A and B are shown apart, each in its own frame.
Chain A
């Protein structure tokens, strides 16, 4: 792997973890570190070449951002629906509006995620595309393992 790309990875690691030592750790910082970790693991496991990397990096990040934003948008509208449902006098007009918004978000999210996935696939060969699907499953598992280990380590410290 090229030194420049590795250097970029180290830069991402330092950027993701650097300021936290002084200011405490927030969930947002952890999510940035998760993204950096996923990127570095993807480079390694998919054997991304130096030619692929400049195109793979922004497309992979877009895919992550699209998924995360879809989850956030969905949660926001569900929260609005919850408030409408729990209101003393539910406003059905607003409910219809929010239901439509939810359907729109779902449809848009699916479309954007598919496009983002297609964009990633365009950079990868068929084997890498297959590995990428497996990689994403394994990465979710790995993240959960790290969360569990962090909880256990914190428990032992107390």
Chain B
């Protein structure tokens, strides 16, 4: 069983030692995820963060605006979006870290009222938690959490979908998924041959 995004973040930020996850010793993919995460966290703390292209910000800011206007019922979380937006506009890496860190910090907090009634603040689901349960690949779960609803173009602009990422994803697919992909590719190959 691969490490979850939470476990990887715990190890990357030093909350948990690597020895707490014996799986790391035998899984190259999880180790790579950890290295990537540490590198990303280090990059996010660097003062001189390079500015991505204007296209990325246009995509991102419009999507944040759409998300805020489309979800009025979540008024309790609008403050979070208002806090998160400046971070997003500051740097893509900072957005990723802020997202993970914020969701970890705010959820769930329990407060005891004077009357003895317990109020529980529930965080909105992470993007990874909305995926099908059989999706266990930590790289996909983490990517889902980091990029949320950002489309391929925006992710590519931010350097989150590099060349070879599709082939890397293939190495983490289940037998059923591989069979489906095989069938799809076979169909595409046959179509191209006609």
Contacts and interface: CB of A to CB of B under 8 A. Distances in A.
A147 B185 contact: no
Given A13-B189, A20-B182, A79-B31, A151 B165 contact: no
B178 A25 contact: yes
A17 B176 contact: no
A82 B35 contact: yes
Interface stretch (A29-37, A46-54, A89-97): A29-37
B189 A36 contact: yes
A141 B163 CA distance: 9
A149 interface: yes
Interface string A1-35: 00000100110110011001000111101110110
A155 interface: yes
Interface residues of B, number: 38
A40 B193 contact: yes
A41 B189 CA distance: 9
A12 B186 CA distance: 11
A151 B156 CA distance: 21
A10 B193 contact: yes
Nearest to A43: B192
Interface stretch (B51-59, B96-104, B110-118, B166-174): B166-174
Interface residues of A, number: 46
B175 interface: yes
Interface in A132-158: 136-137, 140-141, 143-144, 146-147, 149-151, 153-155, 157-158
B186 to A, nearest CB: 4
Contacts, number: 124
A30 B181 contact: yes
Q: Is chain A's binding surface mostly helix, strand, loop or mixed? A: helix
Interface of A: 6, 9-10, 12-13, 16-17, 20, 24-27, 29-31, 33-34, 36-37, 40-41, 44, 67-68, 71, 75, 78-79, 82, 86, 136-137, 140-141, 143-144, 146-147, 149-151, 153-155, 157-158
Interface of B: 18, 25, 28, 31-32, 35, 132, 134-135, 152, 156, 161, 163-167, 169-171, 173-182, 184-186, 188-190, 192-193
25 contacts: A6-B193, A9-B192, A12-B189, A13-B189, A16-B189, A17-B186, A24-B179, A25-B181, A30-B170, A30-B178, A33-B189, A34-B166, A67-B164, A137-B156, A140-B166, A144-B161, A144-B169, A146-B185, A147-B181, A151-B135, A151-B177, A153-B180, A154-B134, A154-B176, A154-B177
Given A71-B164, A147-B173, 16 more contacts: A9-B192, A9-B193, A13-B190, A17-B182, A27-B170, A34-B170, A40-B192, A68-B167, A86-B25, A137-B156, A140-B165, A141-B152, A147-B181, A151-B180, A157-B180, A158-B176
